[in-house]
Amino acid sequence: MAWVKWDQILLPYDYGGLNVSSLKLKNYSLLTKWWWRFLTNDNALWVRVIKSIYGQSGGLGCNSPLPATKMKIFSGRNWSQIINIDQTPSKLGCNLSNVFVKDVGSGLDTSFWNDIWIGDLPLKDAYSRLFRLEVFKDATISDRITITFDSPVFSWAWESQPTWRTEDELASLTNIIKLHKFSNNSKASWTWKHNSNGAFTTDSLMQVLTSLTAAKLPPSSATDLSPFVPKKVGIFIWRAKKNRLPVRVKLDRKGLDLHSTRCPVCDDDIETLHHSLISCKFASNIWDKVRRWWKFNQLHLTNLSDIASCSNPKLVTTLGVSIWQAVVWVTSYYLWIHRNNCTFGKNIDSAAKIFSDIQGKCFEWINCRWRKGALDWLSWITNPCRFDSIFTKNGIG
């Protein structure tokens, strides 16, 4: 039974995921590197081999896509698979055809009609009527345009003079070319749109694909994992915050045939996550022990988001908030373990035993993870709120 969407779990912490990282997206990013290598290594032997088979463009969509009939002939070959990798990123909204941007340079080696160099399509598709009138279908940009004083001068070769509709197309085409910024470079070159220095990296493509995946999921705040507790506790809190734990009410809603939807711990109320972790009388008893241990008048725990945020007006330092967060999270985690033990008829510990386990485990976990000092056990159990005295510099005091 899936409780959280897999795509959500794969996302980095900043996007509210568990930073598992998608192998699928990583694979696309690595294969896309071949596009970049092809575009930027004109003289490499393998590039020349590909060009001799697939044409000057290599069949890449950003260059001059191969017609479907030709693609059929090449299907199944390794390079065809690389040509076709743009399909999945396109579904996410990242079209490889227009993320690699061509600077045509002097236009000597770019086909005016067949290559993509202005807009998202080859001009032969964007201006098909006009293309039919072209005498030399393979004309380069430099055959058709000369840049003088920053503005283009056109030299067309039409089979017959454009009239009304084709005349409109010609007017529109000359307009967009006049607006196009031509560089002073003589040689054609490529840049990757999503990196400030224009160079393609698999990481930058991963970032683009990740943010597009995140945009398709419901918005989620960044994942907060406490520095003081093991990941399993952090992940448990992550699920609790999303209310994605298998409490009986949820299981019932998912269609599972349960003998009861009441709390397996107290049997006083139906089991929601709020009940299990906060309002159940067993949970209240444990929270009260924690409150008295920390000498707080109040715990400020009214809903599930309070467990995740762990604010308490008595805590002012970042270290204090982090340690208190570890205590609240470990307490919630132990309440959940107790709930599972009650559900599955395992050994059930007393509240006193669970409370002393919470104190002990927090002490152990914080000490393992705190590099700058160590907790002093006596201060920890008698006065945990006084952070200055509970930390000793040389180890456990």
Contact residues: Zn ion, CB under 5 A: 263, 265-266, 280
122 or 264: CB nearest Zn ion: 264
Closest approach of Zn ion to the CB of residue 231, in Å:
28
The least distance separating Zn ion from the CB of residue 263, rounded to whole angstroms, comes to 3
Q: How far is the CB of 270 from Zn ion (least distance, A)?
A: 9
Toward Zn ion, which CB reaches closer, 66 or 278?
A: 278
Q: Smallest distance, Å, CB 85 to Zn ion?
A: 52
Shortest Å, Cβ 288 to Zn ion:
15
Name the residue nearer to Zn ion (CB basis): 217 or 266. 266
Residue number, 19 or 261, with CB nearest to Zn ion: 261
Smaller CB distance to Zn ion: residue 170 or 280? 280
Is 207 or 243 the residue whose CB approaches Zn ion more closely?
A: 243
**Nearest-approach distance from CB 273 to Zn ion, in angstroms:** 12
Contact 209, 27 (CB under 8 A): no
Distance CA 21, CA 9 (A): 8
